[in-house]
Amino acid sequence: MPEKNVTSTTTLPTALRPSPDESGMTVPQLLEHRIDALFEHIPLVAELGEAFARAGHDLYLVGGSVRDALMGHLGHDLDFTTDARPNDTEAILRKRTHATWDIGRAFGTIGAQVDDWVVEVTTYRADAYHPDSRKPEIVYGNTLEDDLIRRDFTVNAMALHAATRTFSDPYAGLADIVAGVLRTPFPPQRSFSDDPLRMMRAARFTSQLGFTVTDDVRDAMTDMAARIEIISAERVRDEISKTLLTDHPRQGLDLLVTTGIADYVLPELPALRLERDEHHRHKDVYEHSLTVLDQSIDLEKRRGHDPDLTGRLAALLHDIGKPSTRRFEPGGKVSFHHHDVVGAKMARKRLKALSYPGQVVKDVSKLVELHLRFHGYGDQGWTDSAVRRYVRDAGDQLERLHILTRSDCTTRNRRKAERLEFAYDDLEARIADLTAKEELAAIRPDLDGQQIMATLGIGPGPEVGKAYKFLLNLRLDEGPRTPEEAKSALLSWWAKQGHEATDGHS
């Protein structure tokens, strides 16, 4: 390890830069300090290491747990590897906690909840995919090195012995952390052939860690992109979601697109790279979409929200209807009529194919369909009726629609941007005002179904639904009425339909 002084090194990944109490340390000193801090703050690591040692087994903290600890942070999960077989692992863990599970036993993994930590212990293993298989063949390894060489990247192929604190780094993962690069322990062609999902993890880690892939990793991803087709939709979906939920998903998404992997897992994204017409009369839709995603994440944070998968999917996919609706109009203008409606259908189809939950599919497609609704508000102004309909149509997605619509402004024309921002500020203020007066988010007709039937003297049937819709539109158009006013309006409407009320109101 080079003896660099951290304080004078400006190329280190952000997470590796020293805290105030680490100032002045060299890189090796910094990393040694963080290993000591790990064992000090999580005594459970040494406790489990000693328990396995008493049973005659080695236990190593491994993978992302070691990587994150060396980079100065750690989540609530601890991943270990061991020479013990799953039955022995389970017996050792049960002496510490009864909260164990063996859902991963087929893969050599036993899980446990120990105090505030989720612990997973996996027997040394060596998995590989057959060319026509979607699931890895599980083969137990015999040594730590057998296990580490089959890890996805060198930065995840480091281990700390839980009892002795011995640090194992046979593939120079620590140096790669310092350099901020992603490299595979095996040649990348073999690594990605064994588990093609590693290509998508490379994209996720570029976003999550701020690292870049080496040229040979990028070349292998490009050459082997089609190999991703053997991976199940659910595993692909999970990697896309994890990438989107990082602070900076743009870098990872762009890696998927430029290597051709997105052509197989999310083809609507690279399809946004439309050729620009000679007059440059429309934006680069692909770059625009990534910018909207960036801006929505920034706005999501500023409005106090946690990372929101639904909102981020909507931001990424909001314009996917543009390629199929692009038309060149007279005079060189370019139009994308109804790309919101077309895009909503496309988003629904793609998210279903990726096995996203039904509610996510429904919410994202709604946001895509509504993302243009606001445009024109600043120029034409909206009646209270239009504002009510906007809120009602958005339903429980209103806050996400606010974020998406605001983020969709990527113009470099400062005056136009300020005008759009002012218009949306005005719309949100009007929504807040009307909501305070009318409980806008829960708008219902002024009469319920029972009152409608009593007023008109009819029983259940389609006419009740028509009357309900009339009263709802009346409420949206004109605001709330008293029950008597609503009954009078209903009876007038009923008479115009050629009916006669039978309860004595006519």
Alpha helices, H only, 7-85: 27-41, 43-54, 64-70
405 pLDDT higher than 60: yes
Q: What is the pLDDT of residues 349-404, one digit of tens each?
A: 999 999 999 999 999 999 999 998 888 676 667 888 888 888 888 989 999 999 99
Provide, rounded to the nearest whole percent, the portion of the chain with pLDDT above 70: 89
- What string of H, E and C letters represents the secondary structure of 76-110? CEEEEEECCCHHHHHHHHHCCCCCEECCCHHHCEE
Let me know: does 332 contact 352? Beta carbons within 8 Å: no
Is the per-residue pLDDT at 270 higher than 70? yes
Mean pLDDT of 111-117: 92
Determine the average pLDDT of the residues in 468-490. Answer: 84
The number of angstroms, rounded, from the C-alpha of 131 to the middle of its chain's C-alpha atoms is: 29
CA dist., res. 431 & res. 439, Å (int) = 10
Kindly tell me if the per-residue pLDDT of 480 is higher than 60. yes
Distance CA 28, CA 32 (A): 6
CATH for 1-179 is 3.30.460.10
- Average the pLDDT over each of 127-131, 182-186, 263-267, 468-472 and give the range with the smallest value: 127-131
| Sequence ranges of the domains in the chain | 1-179, 182-266, 296-442, 449-496
Which tens digits make up the pLDDT trace of 26-47? 777 887 888 888 999 999 999 9
CB atoms within 10 A of CB 40: 9
Whether CATH 1.10.110.30 fits 182-266: yes
Are 315 and 292 contacting, i.e. CB atoms less than 8 angstroms apart?
A: yes
State pLDDT tens for residues 277-324.
Answer: 444 444 589 999 999 999 999 999 999 999 999 999 999 999 999 988
The pLDDT value recorded for residue 337 is 82
For residue 418, the Cα-to-chain-centroid distance in whole angstroms is: 29
CA distance 89 to 85: 6
Is the pLDDT score of 8 beyond 80? no
Q: pLDDT grade, residue 504 (50/70/90)? A: very low
Least confident of 145-149, 225-229, 331-335: 331-335
Mean pLDDT confidence for 205-225:
96
312, 347 in Cβ contact below 8 A?
Answer: no
How would residue 506 be classed by pLDDT, with cut points 50, 70 and 90? very low
pLDDT(128) > 60: no
* Single-letter code of the amino acid located at 296: S
The percentage of the chain sitting over the pLDDT mark of 90, rounded to a whole number, equals 53
Q: What is the DSSP string of 235-298?
A: HHHHHHHHHHTSS-HHHHHHHHHHTTTHHHH-TTTGGG-PPPPTT--S--HHHHHHHHHHHHHH
Calpha distance 458→455 (Å, rounded): 8
Ramachandran bin of 63, using left for φ above 0, alpha for ψ from -120 to 50, beta for the remaining angles: left
- Burial of 478 by CB count in 10 Å (0-12 exposed, 13-18 middle, 19+ buried)? middle
Of the listed ranges 334-343, 376-385, 497-506, the one predicted with least confidence: 497-506
Q: Given this model, what pLDDT does residue 269 score?
A: 96
Residue 3 has pLDDT above 70, yes or no: no
Report the range of poorest mean pLDDT among 95-99, 179-183, 207-211, 423-427: 423-427
- Average of pLDDT values for 432-461? 78
Q: 447 pLDDT exceeds 50? A: yes
Mean pLDDT estimate for the chain? 87
Average pLDDT of span 49-55 = 97
